[in-house]
Structure 1
Amino acid sequence: MIKDSKEERREYDYLIVGAGLFGSVFAHEMTKRKKKCLVIDRRNHLGGNVYCEHIEGIEVHKYGAHIFHTNDKKIWDYVNQFTSFNNYINSPLSFSKGKLYNLPFNMNTFYQLWGVKTPAEAKRIINKQIETYGTKSPENLEEQALSLVGKDIYDTLIKEYTEKQWGRKAVELPAFIIKRLPVRFTFDNNYFNDRYQGIPKGGYNTIINGLLEGIETRTGVDFFEERSVLEALAKKVVYTGKIDEFFGFKYGALEYRSLRFEHEILNTDNYQGNAVVNYNDKTYDYTRIIEHKHFDFGKQDKTVITKEYPEAWTLKKEAYYPVNDHKNQEIFKKYKEASMCLENIIFGGRLAEYRYYDMHQIIASSLTKVNQVLQKETIG
């Protein structure tokens, strides 16, 4: 293949738009292979949504709780090359109708709900309620949840929380949002079943800084405000932003739910005794309170809490959760097809792929993309 002379003269091999996990992993791997990368981000910091801010000696998860978990030893080893992890186990609580309940749904929860002490007792209650309130062909989220766990769990721990989260009545939400609801008949409050779990010591910035060490980065840079200049700098662009924005919304805007975070420094050493407490009732506008010091078993004199408020999304707000209903998926398909026609643009990450990713999944996705790109370059 004869290369364009302009391409030969470009300063960078890759311009990476977005300094979150996908972009940072991609830049790190390509730099190891002697490729020259420039990483830019619209925000004034690196790390995307895993960014932590050091406040009162506490690593504050600026954009909501991030607990790393995976069953993939390769991914676990990959992140541990940059820092070690503590042994934090995610065991959230839910505050509902004046009482605290353990999550996920397990024997502790069932004891708190019904006073039952054995799995057989709990199963009898759940199965009877499923038989009474469930349906074989759920048409909305409420019917789906009732068919999976029955009325008590749904009314107490799911309904109002979900309606706050999505800004719509449960009967107006599609059934597929809840594909399954894990129910454990053991006294186990560990939210995740994964073999590896924890919080990076020093916060997630240590991972991002390790990934981007020695790589040129620029923050506070809006790709779309300087698009032609920035694209001219590199042979290829790795784009991790919203795919509809990349194409000028020509097929319409994809829908999301947004979040607002209110951070508070409190003059107490322990506010709620747990890192994450969900607030199920609609009388609270927020869905959960995070007390960050508990992620690191902190002993500081003060504490920092974050209240998480779900919000309707607009083009001026941060996009967090894609609304993957039929209408939006049809729009996304058009953008996906358009993206496949662009030879020198690589799309990756939750916004570019219009899907939700856990952290271990986004790292694996970026590593896979690196291998695909390198194979294509070798063949080309």
Structure 2
Amino acid sequence: MKKYDYLIVGSGLYGSTFACMAARSGKKCLVIDKRSQTGGNLYCENVEGINVHKYGAHIFHTSNKEVWDFVNSIVEFNRYTNSPVANYKGKLYNLPFNMNTFYQMWGLTTPETALAKIEEQKREAEELMCAEGVSEPRNLEEQALLLVGRDIYEKLIKGYTEKQWGRKCTELPAFIIKRLPVRLVFDNNYFNDKYQGIPIGGYNKLIEGLLKDAEVMPDTDFFHDRERWMNIADKIVFTGKIDEFYSYCFGKLEYRTVRFEEEVLSTPNYQGNAVVNYTEATVPYTRIIEHKHFESFGAEVYDNPYTVISREYSTEWSEGMEPYYPVNDTRNSQLYQQYKELADMEENIIFGGRLAEYKYYDMAPIVESVFKHFND
């Protein structure tokens, strides 16, 4: 008999949710994490009484009532509604693309005129491609032009996307944006999901609740004593980089990462919104997050005389940096499939989460993935 039913490598949302579900099934879990804190990229640090999302803004959203009830059974969530704003050369546009955006862009006030304007610009893109003998979009730029037309693309997509990926839109594959939401209503709610919010008191409360029945060891690197960890439990749940698990035998997968520039300001309200995207190519950062707006609303924003902002800079990933976004081009997709074939042959190892599955995940689908494992 081994000491644990599960060794869980990584205490991010996948690992922590797995630990919670396993404990509810009567299993004994050990969770190890190479960081000094739990929670992975959900970790928050309290700065001047504000829960700062240290690894980027996280907004929980889902239409799955089972998932929503589950996370709220751990910690109550607030009413935060994601309504980002885009700043292009000092002018503000509401996101996602909706009637407020079209009024700001063209001065149009009715759905009929807005739709006609978008269709007119889409036809222009189709005609240009047709003149070049092209029937399918060859890159992200052509795909975006076919979806929303030139004005929205040039002002709200092009610069932001090129900063995010570090490549020109003409060099990015079209499938990155298979669709762009266009809403012919005055609605700034970014998500279509029925439920959304932030844990009251921050994401640390959620992680602490998920891990309360597990043994947890931070500052513990799986790869520093791999043989020991491989033999301490009946099964291993691995949430780290899948290529690292297999010693990069096929080569290294590529990522994009984000650098954060955090600043404490002696003002209660810097930008009036949690998320402002900077879509102009000449602005080096992609967005500014003002963290207090995730948990303070209306007049209560002014209860705290300070605010904390984070400027986000998207960069190429290299060793020692936190890998954020998989680069899902042909080369990396094929490389991941080679690793996945190895993983599929493992009987006692479960690979889960964005790094182990080389897949960008929203939070709710991560929880759903763990549910599926325990329900199968």
> Counterpart of 2:319?
315
CA-atom RMSD, angstroms?
1.0
Distance 1:216 1:342 in 2: 25
Distance 1:61 1:101 in 2: 24
> Counterpart of 1:143?
142
Residue of structure 1 aligned with 2:21, choices 29, 34, 45: 29
Percent of paired sites with the same residue? 60
What does residue range 232-243 of structure 1 map to in structure 2 within 5 Å? 232-243=231-242
> Counterpart of 2:210?
211
Does residue 125 of structure 1 match 2:123? no
Cα offset for 1:370? 2.8
Structure 1 residue runs of 5 or longer lacking an equivalent are: 1-7, 373-380
Secondary structure in structure 2 of the residue aligned to 1:197: strand
1:308-362: CA deviations, max 9, x gaps? Answer: 1101011321111111111111111110110122211111111111111100000
Residue of structure 2 aligned with 1:348, choices 347, 352, 356: 352
1:84-108: CA deviations, max 9, x gaps? Answer: 1111110000000220110000010
TM-score, normalised to structure 2, is: 0.95
Distance 1:105 1:18 in 2: 37
Cα offset for 1:214? 2.8
1:248-288: CA deviations, max 9, x gaps? Answer: 01011111111111111111111101000001112211100
Secondary structure in structure 1 of the residue aligned to 2:223: coil
TM-score, normalised to structure 1, is: 0.94
Amino acid in the other structure paired with 1:178: I
Amino acid in the other structure paired with 2:185: T
Distance 1:245 1:147 in 2: 39
Does residue 247 of structure 1 match 2:251? no
What does residue range 1-380 of structure 1 map to in structure 2 within 5 Å? 8=1, 10-134=2-126, 135=129, 136-297=135-296, 298=301, 299-372=303-376
Secondary structure in structure 2 of the residue aligned to 1:53: strand
Amino acid in the other structure paired with 1:327: R
1:216-256: CA deviations, max 9, x gaps? Answer: 10111111111112222212111001100100010111111
Secondary structure in structure 2 of the residue aligned to 1:283: coil
Distance 2:276 2:207 in 1: 27
Distance 1:163 1:186 in 2: 28
Cα offset for 1:29? 1.1
Secondary structure in structure 1 of the residue aligned to 2:350: strand
Cα offset for 1:143? 0.2
Secondary structure in structure 1 of the residue aligned to 2:159: helix
Distance 1:98 1:210 in 2: 42
Cα offset for 1:148? 0.3
Amino acid in the other structure paired with 2:155: T
Distance 2:33 2:183 in 1: 42
Distance 2:81 2:240 in 1: 31
Secondary structure in structure 2 of the residue aligned to 1:225: helix
Whether contact under 8 Å (2:80, 2:294) holds in the other structure is yes
Per mean C-alpha deviation after superposition, the further-off stretch among 164-173 and 56-65 is 56-65
Amino acid in the other structure paired with 1:312: E
Distance 2:20 2:90 in 1: 48
Whether contact under 8 Å (2:10, 2:34) holds in the other structure is yes
Amino acid in the other structure paired with 2:177: I
Alignment coverage as a number of residue pairs: 364
Distance 1:81 1:168 in 2: 43
